[in-house]
Amino acid sequence: MASSFNIDTFTSKLSKGGALASLFECELTATDKGKKGSVADWIFMCKGVSFPASTITPATVTYMGRALQIPGNRDAAQLVTSIYNDEGMEVRNYIESWMERLNSHKTNKRDSAWSKILDYTAEMKVRQLKKDGTGSSKEYIFTNVWPSTCAEIALSWDTNEIQAFDVTWEYNYWSSVGNSGTGA
The answer to the question of residue 60 being in a domain is yes
147 contacts 95 by C-beta, under 8 angstroms: yes
The answer to the question of residue 111 being in a domain is yes
Q: Which tens digit of pLDDT belongs to each residue from 129-173?
A: 998 989 999 999 999 999 999 999 999 999 999 999 999 999 999
pLDDT score, position 155: 92
Residue-number span of the structural domain to which 136 is assigned: 21-178
Number of structural domains the chain divides into: 1
The answer to the question of residue 160 being in a domain is yes
Average pLDDT value for residue range 116-127: 92
Over the Cα atoms of the chain, what is R_g? 21
What is the distance in angstroms between the CA of the first residue and the CA of the last residue of the chain?
A: 33
Can you give the CATH number for the domain in which 163 is found?
A: 2.30.110.20
% of residues, the chain, pLDDT over 70: 91
pLDDT score, position 184: 43
Residue spans of alpha helices (H) in 3-89: 7-13, 42-45
Q: Which tens digit of pLDDT belongs to each residue from 55-100?
A: 899 999 999 999 999 999 988 789 999 999 999 999 999 999 999 9
According to DSSP, residue 14 is labeled: S
The answer to the question of residue 167 being in a domain is yes
The answer to the question of residue 69 being in a domain is yes
Q: Which tens digit of pLDDT belongs to each residue from 19-43?
A: 888 899 999 987 555 554 457 788 9
CA angle 25, 26, 32 (to 5 degrees): 145
- Band (2; pLDDT cuts 50, 70, 90): low
Kindly provide the b/e burial profile for residues 147-177, where b requires at least 16 CB atoms within 10 angstroms of the residue's own CB: beebeeeeeeeeeeeeeebebebbbeebeeb
pLDDT score, position 4: 77
Average pLDDT value for residue range 98-117: 92
pLDDT score, position 50: 83
The answer to the question of residue 2 being in a domain is no
The answer to the question of residue 32 being in a domain is yes
